[in-house]
Structure 1
Amino acid sequence: MIVITTPTGQIGGRLLKILLDETRIGGEELRVIVRDPGKLPDAARARIDVITGSHGDAEVIDRAFAGADAVFWVVPSNPRGLSLDAMYSGFTRAAAKAFTTHGVGHVVGVSALGRGTPVAGHAGHVTASLAMDDLIASTGVAYRALANPTFIDNLLWQTASIRDQGMFTGTVAADRKTPMAATRDIAAAAAGLLLDRSWTGTDEVPVLGPEDLSPNDLAHIMSEVLGRPIRYQRQTLDELRTVLAGQGMGDTLVQGYLDMMEAKDNGLDDGVRRTPRAASPTTFREWCERVLKPAVQA
């Protein structure tokens, strides 16, 4: 049995669909942990076991992990969390204990690039995510951390600005080329690991996208796909602080985002060489055609 956390999220939802398609005739049993079962697709609910609650709750985790062979682990966003350690490792501690208690064999988690880089210890959310990986690995479970760069899909948060102002913002230099990955490719990587559990030990699995692109490159491609000029405007970290605080995010988490973005501009995502195994397939142009353009037109 495979247990999926965050089954209605960008990655977890896509993963659930992939696994349902792959296991349509026999194969793996699927179980999800979800706060609101009503958000699950109707067709999915009839084919999966649903555990209602938070996967940070020890009692919920005990019920969900009983009889589980593998777990897909994602820490949910908590904009009002008290600390980054509480948001990542604190949230995961009940699950880490339950991996051992219930004899879970394999865990796949969503994490980040940066391990081994000079800035990894001062990268806010990424630093906390890497510490969470260490916590999971310390249980002795076979673990694969999906080491991701910035998600392409994060641009959807700026759909209104792209549509109404022809502009998107960020804090990295306009000509700095970095990897980006589509969440659909991250889900596909997770599905492959969960369905073929021949791997052992602990390791990272980079999901880097097919090419490195700068914000200027992104603006050029968006302009071509949308048929109108789109430009990039670089924000200062202080400007980003104001935006995040205005969204109600606590000071500790705001600082975590600022530290992460500063680390990205200083090479956080540059430490892993792209190989055929790490080069996930979805191009930025394809993502714009498939995801961004319909969102802007809507």
Structure 2
Amino acid sequence: MPPFINKHGQVTFGVFEHGPADINYLDFDLRNNMDKPITGWRKRMRFNQFQFISLTGKDFVLGVAIVNLKWVSNCFVYIYQLSTQTFKEYSWLQPFARNTLTNTTPNNGSWQFKTGKNKIVMTAETGKRKLHIQLKNELTVDVTINESQPSLDVCCRAGYNGWVYTKKNAALPVTGHIQWQGSTIDTTQLKAAVDWSCGYMRRETFWHWASLSHTNQDGHTIGLNLAAGVNETTHTENGLWINGQFIKLDRAEFLFNRQNRMAPWQVSSTDNHIELTFTPLGERKEKINAGFIASNFTQVFGRFDGSVKDQNQQVIKINNALGFCEDHFAKW
């Protein structure tokens, strides 16, 4: 495709069959609400990036994210093993994104976050993505994620002046090895999901989100990405993968109790492809209120039950499928 941002400083909006090779954000004609250009260090500092990767199986959940807000970077890792009811989370902040490396090429390059002896690396190559995690003597992850199936690539307006590009994929095959507290995790039973996002986002925003990567009892591989409250100007970032085939979805709806996010959620799409109940098993919460930057973040992991419909409106049952939901307010 042509440059993501053209010679006039304008962004290419829409859903792409093949995503951009590079997000050339510094070529964007960024302006304030009164049309005054924003340039130099202010332009660089307003550009946000994050990448989230999840691994799920019948007995294991791992979520890891690197977030670069320029003023600060954040990385978190959490693990939950059902058979032992073991939950462990790690989270770090780095002022001015110290020891944090991100790039603007969704399909190539490396992201890194280091603090002390802890190191997280996400590396993309054509058709695959690698995840390396080394956390003291507790967790070692070296896996390769096969990204040969189509991804969801979309760019939407964000507020009056901005935009958000996001690349999503789910139910991806995993190979490699994981050591967790002295035990070896069977990676052949795992499926991965990837969320790569960046842009000049709304100063204040929120979203509800769901992700599912699962093989059901009939052998169907189902991946799901749903979001509401963000990136819905003209286009949505909602998609369903069934046996490697991608189906673009319309808007999503999330019904849940904000005072008790551990109560069941109802998750659906307006085109009737999705009708699911999500029952939480655990949650990762974080509240940051640093004045000009704030975050009220809750990511809940648990089980999905219900059904999805394929492109021919055939019903596929979902039972006891591990996945994620999220409720997030951000000021950045």
If asked which structure has higher relative contact order (CA below 8 Å, sep 6+), I would say 1
TM-score by length of 1: 0.24
Higher helix content, 1 or 2: 1
Higher strand content, 1 or 2: 2
